[in-house]
Amino acid sequence: MAEDVITQSPEAHAESRPLILIVDDDREQAEQIGTFLSKFGMSVLLEDNGFAAVNTIRRVQPAIVLMDVRMPGLDGIKAAQLTSSSETKAKIILMSGYADQIKRASEEDLDVFAVIDKPLALRVLIRFIQAALHDHD
């Protein structure tokens, strides 16, 4: 089940704050990113696997999905493929600390906003998220 880092329901912030879904099996890293993004006025939900992410994306319709590529079970690439074909408007940003996974994600025909390297410089990450929020494609 999705966890809201700022401890309020996403519906309470649907109009005033962009909702960001962070999907990473490294819970500590996901929480650190979530805490950082909440300081920029964003509502944040956390999931730790691709299956839960697909369900949450379809149910909650976040503005941005920040998703790790390498996760047990359903990885970020497969989750992105499943959600890009659904009726979601979420901008997906894939991330990985493994060069082979970055290459794999970049070579797939995915409808994602960006594929970025981990570890993430938070100042750079916020720029990607802000650009995705303002992307009108």
Please write the tens of the pLDDT for every residue from 98-116.
888 888 888 888 888 889 9
DSSP 87: T
Q: What integer pLDDT is reported at residue 2 of this predicted model? A: 54
Give, in degrees to the nearest 5, the angle at Cα 25 between 122 and 55: 100
Q: Is the pLDDT of residue 14 over 80?
A: no
- Distance separating alpha carbons of residues 118 and 120, to the nearest angstrom: 5
Residue range of the domain that includes 107:
3-134
Average pLDDT value for residue range 17-43 = 94
3-state secondary structure 47-67: ECCHHHHHHHHHHHCCCEEEE
Please write the tens of the pLDDT for every residue from 53-105.
999 999 999 999 999 999 988 999 999 999 876 667 899 999 998 888 888 88
Q: Is the pLDDT of residue 6 over 50?
A: no
CATH code for the domain of 130 = 3.40.50.2300
Q: What integer pLDDT is reported at residue 86 of this predicted model? A: 62
What's the predicted TM-score (pTM) here?
0.84
- Per the structure, the count of domains in the chain is 1
Contact 79, 50 (CB under 8 A): yes
Maximum distance among all Cα pairs of the chain, rounded to whole angstroms: 39
Kindly give, in sequence order, each residue whose CB lies less than 8 Å from that of residue 111, ignoring residues fewer than 6 positions away: 80, 84, 92
